[in-house]
Structure 1
Amino acid sequence: MDRRTSTTPGGGVMMRRLSEVRRGRLRFDVRDDGPIDGEPVVLLHGFPQDGSSWNRVAARLHGAGLRTLAPDLRGYSAGARPPQRAAYRMEWLVEDLRALLDAAGLDRAHVVGHDWGGALGWAAASAMPERLASLTVASTPHPAAMVRSLWRSDQALRSSYMLAFQAPGLPERALAPRLEEILAGSGLPVADATRYAARMREPGALTGALNWYRGVPLTRLQTGDVVVPTTYVWGRDDFALGRVAAELTQEHVLAPYRFVDVDAGHWLPETEPALLADVIADRVAVRA
């Protein structure tokens, strides 16, 4: 299940250092770093990033004694790019996360997500709260808060691109030549924009990434209120996600909750790594 075989006992289970996780025919690449006996933190990326989006954050978490596991998620790992939109229903994505925890020998982990990784974090906290020691979400509000905000703010306009992404093939043709420019123009550092755009030129990569949006209408899993201790970090200059949804999120967390409102935009792992690492470490320390 993994290429590296370093093992050590911890928490009553045998923890394993991972470089990949296999789930059926799918193979997910994983960056597993930091002290293997440290509190485990799973870092879930968004669109159109990959696990490397967390590099700056992970380095700081390692300094705090934490272990990080940053997978390239479904559609982003070269060995896990099914072309069918139905393969990206949220229930399958949650099971990918469960498979990662099982492969690492972890009964529970602290889960951190940004953008679509945040949506996956909310869903996992609802569907399998027993596997999450805590949840930290950057940018993405709770899905129910998002829906409620559509009628109370400009969120529907902000999210209109999600409808455009439903069309098969057309978004790929429109985005591929301009993706780097679009990302940099939205506030992502140029070096990161260049790296992600290059990754999206791999066979099937952009379709796999866009299928996260296309899987939404087919999803059967409903994300309910969360009973896991949670921190939510939101940038007040986020171009895609507005304040109303951010502030409504607290009503869907039935556990200790912290809302961190920062003077930043959408790309928090890349632009605010020190702040985000401190917030994550604070949440882990409460639960460790």
Structure 2
Amino acid sequence: MWTEHEIQVNGVRLHYVEAGPAQGPLVVLLHGFPEYWRAWEHQIGPLARAGFRVVAPDMRGYNLSEKPQDLHAYRLETLQEDVAKLIQALGVSRAHMVGHDWGGIVAWQLAIRQPDVVDRLVILNAPHPGAALRAMNDPEQLKRSWYVYLFQLPVLPELFLERFGRWALRGTRRDAFTPQDMELYRAAWRQPGAAKGMINYYRALRRYGTRHGLERRPDNEQVGRPTLIIWGERDVALTPEMAEAGPWVPDLRLVRLPRASHWVMRDEPVKVNNLLIDFLQD
């Protein structure tokens, strides 16, 4: 169904899986925390059968990709450049970008900072940076973001993730994450250096985010690409208002799925797949 590969880009070795025709339009699937490429296991096959060349990397710090130890290596501008260089290394100039959670944050940044490498943009439960900054004044969102502050502590978050990472993966479907899924996730979290690399996304955002990619200038955060946002409304970490991106995205379609959680692509895989294929083939 898919093949596994490694590639050296932007100074790190990235592991990725690929499926679909080599000459098809490239779709890059970016996972979030605390997942890895397998976050998209219900999407890879349908997209490949629809004629797309599908690439789903483990982002730096995750699973089988390289895991730099320096916090500076996890700045948003560096994560963004990983994806831009990956697209180039795959032999094309631009790609459709699909991102969930942290993958969505990186996809937003790529569409804002390097729009020439993005064809169409799909975001699943990840706020536009302007919406994220606006939510910093929302008491409800601050309450939901408690774990971001926990993750700033040394050592403890890594131990918590390795032992109790299952707490983060709660879909609305009872079979959204099967026992077999959880065994695979635990193996990914226990890769040497993975727990620290994954948590460093949050630490680096806290330390560098204001100066690197999350400037308090939302008027400069415009997205000029056709964009689809798919939002699971039962997200316990993000308020429904975080889905609003209209002020920054002129060509926007927002689809809310009221029965889906943060893990929208697992809770509603058929709906998500149909939305993805229809939008990317349009």
For the criterion TM > 0.5, the same-fold answer is yes
Q: Read off the aligned partner of 1:225 and give its amino acid letter.
A: Q
TM-score calculated relative to the size of structure 2: 0.89
Q: Is 1:269 the equivalent of 2:268?
A: no
Q: Deviations over 1:161-195 (max 9, x none)?
A: 11110112111122321113x13546551333332
Contact 1:51 1:70 in 2 (8 A): yes
In the alignment, which of 19, 31, 50 is matched to residue 64 of structure 1? 50
In the alignment, which of 237, 244, 249 is matched to residue 234 of structure 2? 237
**Number of residue pairs matched by the alignment:** 267
Moved more, 35-44 or 182-191: 182-191
Q: Read off the aligned partner of 2:101 and give its amino acid letter.
A: D
For residues 24 and 240 of structure 1, do their structure 2 counterparts lie closer, same or farther at Cα, with a shift above 3 Å needed? closer
Structure 2: any 5+ residue segments left out of the alignment?
A: 215-220
1:258 is aligned to 253
1:246 is aligned to 243
1:212 is aligned to 201
In the alignment, which of 96, 104, 107 is matched to residue 110 of structure 1? 96
CA distance in 1 between partners of 2:169 and 2:148 (Å): 19
SS at match of 1:233: strand
The structural deviation recorded for 1:110 is 0.3
Moved more, 113-122 or 270-279: 270-279
Identity of aligned residues (%): 36
2:146 is aligned to 160
Q: Read off the aligned partner of 1:193 and give its amino acid letter.
A: M
Q: Deviations over 1:136-181 (max 9, x none)?
A: 000111021022123245111111211110112111122321113x
Over the residues paired in the alignment, what is the CA RMSD in angstroms? 1.8
Where in structure 1 do 4 or more consecutive aligned residues deviate above 3 Å?
183-188
1:27 is aligned to 13
The structural deviation recorded for 1:272 is 2.0
SS at match of 2:137: coil
CA distance in 2 between partners of 1:63 and 1:37 (Å): 13
For residues 19 and 174 of structure 1, do their structure 2 counterparts lie closer, same or farther at Cα, with a shift above 3 Å needed? closer
2:39 is aligned to 53
The structural deviation recorded for 1:99 is 1.2
In the alignment, which of 258, 275, 280 is matched to residue 279 of structure 1? 275
The structural deviation recorded for 1:18 is 7.8
Q: Is 1:171 the equivalent of 2:157?
A: yes
Q: Deviations over 1:23-68 (max 9, x none)?
A: 2652101111101111111000001111111121111111211110
For residues 61 and 225 of structure 1, do their structure 2 counterparts lie closer, same or farther at Cα, with a shift above 3 Å needed? same
Query: Which runs of structure 2 are paired with 1:131-142 in the superposition (5 Å)?
Result: 131-142=117-128
